[in-house]
């Protein structure tokens, strides 16, 4: 499954929730790259300059990350991509990888959101420097100011949430990632969700959309991912 939406549309939070519910990994290229930058690995050093400007990291670098990640055993039963693919080249390369592996993409979920909500989410966003959990000064405060509820790490704004960088990231989304939506539209793989909602409501809607029935313990009883093409 692929989640696509502009930066700040909440796809990371939803991908984490879905990953827990469906017990399949959440693969965020942004998280992988941030970790690499933090540890100053070769990948991190290569990616850093692009990320600081809000530009995309080159396709070949991203594809290598993805190939390595999905070849791990925890990916055998499927996975959720968040922030990938972001260009037409990445989408085409992913199709090729699936073909080689004899796998099929089930579903692409488009997160639609107004510019007003986006600005609030990005300007208020805080990330735990230790575990990556996200908070927001407008609607998701931690219990103790500046401290992560989950692991006690320090909460900091993301470097690329600065106003000038955000403007560029949104421009990059419009120019380079929107064509990816058309690409999947043509394959009848897309379902759209109104991402202006609160996180809990959005999650409920998302679960209904992908047709996951949940028993009282919160564990999935039945799951299927009906793409629009399969419903028709
Ligand atoms: P994200 O956390 O998904 O917003 O990603 C943060 C930054 O990482 C982006 O602004 C890009 O610089 C880089 N990045 C993440 N995913 C990709 C991708 N699929 N292709 C190119 N660059 C990416």
pLDDT in tens, 190-217: 999 999 888 788 898 999 888 765 554 5
Find the angle CA(144)-CA(148)-CA(151) to the nearest 5 degrees. 125
Residue nearest to atom 15 of ligand 1 (CA): 30
211-230 as b/e, with b when 16 or more CB fall inside 10 Å?
ebeeeeeeeeeebebebeee
pTM of the model: 0.85
The pLDDT > 70 percentage for the chain reads 91
Question: From the alpha carbon of 172, which atom of ligand 1 is closest?
Answer: 10
Distance in angstroms (rounded) separating the CA atoms of residues 62 and 29: 7
pLDDT exceeds 70 at position 170:
yes
Q: What integer is the mean pLDDT of 145-158?
A: 95
CATH fold for the domain made of 2-24+77-113+174-224: Rossmann fold (3.40.50)
Distance in angstroms (rounded) separating the CA atoms of residues 60 and 74: 23
pLDDT at 216: 46
Taking the centre of ligand 1 as the mean of its atom positions, its distance from the CA of residue 40, in whole angstroms, is 17
Beta bridge mates, 112:
194
Taking the centre of ligand 1 as the mean of its atom positions, its distance from the CA of residue 84, in whole angstroms, is 8
Question: From the alpha carbon of 33, which atom of ligand 1 is closest?
Answer: 8
Show the ligand 1 pocket: residues with CB < 6 angstroms: 7, 29-30, 33, 50-51, 54-57, 62, 83-84, 86, 90, 160, 169
């Amino acid at each position: 499954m692929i989640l696509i939406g502009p930066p700040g549309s909440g796809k990371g939070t939803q991908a984490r929730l879905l990953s827990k519910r469906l017990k399949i990994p959440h693969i965020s290229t942004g998280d992988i790259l941030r970790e690499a930058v933090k540890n100053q690995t070769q990948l991190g050093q290569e990616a850093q300059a692009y990320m600081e400007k809000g530009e995309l990291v080159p396709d070949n670098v991203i594809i290598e990350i993805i190939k390595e990640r999905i070849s791990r055993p925890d990916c055998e039963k499927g996975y959720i991509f968040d922030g990938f693919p972001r260009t037409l080249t990445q989408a085409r390369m992913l199709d090729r990888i699936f073909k080689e592996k004899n796998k099929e993409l089930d579903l692409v979920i488009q997160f639609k959101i107004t510019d007003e909500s986006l600005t609030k989410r990005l300007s208020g966003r805080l990330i735990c420097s230790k575990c990556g959990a996200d908070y927001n000064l407008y609607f998701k405060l931690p219990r103790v100011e500046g401290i992560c509820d989950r692991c006690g790490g320090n909460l900091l704004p993301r470097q690329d949430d600065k106003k000038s960088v955000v403007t560029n990231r949104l421009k990059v989304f419009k120019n380079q990632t929107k064509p990816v939506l058309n690409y999947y539209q043509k394959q009848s793989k897309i379902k759209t969700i109104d991402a202006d909602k609160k996180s809990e409501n959005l999650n409920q809607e998302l679960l209904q959309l992908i047709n996951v029935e949940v028993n009282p313990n919160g564990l999935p009883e039945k799951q299927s991912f009906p793409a629009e093409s399969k419903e028709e």
